[in-house]
Structure 1
Amino acid sequence: MPKHAHAVRRGADSLRCSFCGKDKSAVDKLIAGPKGVFICNECVRLCDEILEEELLDE
């Protein structure tokens, strides 16, 4: 994992995905971004699907 990326596993208090709002206990992983922003594994997967569909449409 790159030094600047921090995956937050279940157990930290009051962390939520900044995109879907799910609590850290409802997802497998939260990835920390800059300035307290987090994205969960489910939102990452959704973003990947959206990008893949857009590439196929081009």
Structure 2
Amino acid sequence: MEKLSFQAKKAYFAKHRKSNFAASLRLEGFTTSPNDDHKLPTREAALMAVRQIKA
């Protein structure tokens, strides 16, 4: 059996984590599509948004 690199392992788990999350959303009744790939905001952008809400 060939050894997998650390990057290959990370990619494998990221792919399966994403598909498991999509499956759990479908089970809860949400509609999903394979193209639902939204990027999360950066930490700085999230902090700025929270600061604007508090002000």
Normalising by structure 2, what TM-score?
0.38
Query: Which of 1 and 2 has greater Rg?
Result: 2
More helix per residue: 1 or 2? 2
Query: TM (normalized to structure 1)?
Result: 0.36
* Structure that is richer in strand per residue: 1
Structure of higher RCO (CA pairs closer than 8 Å, 6+ residues apart): 1
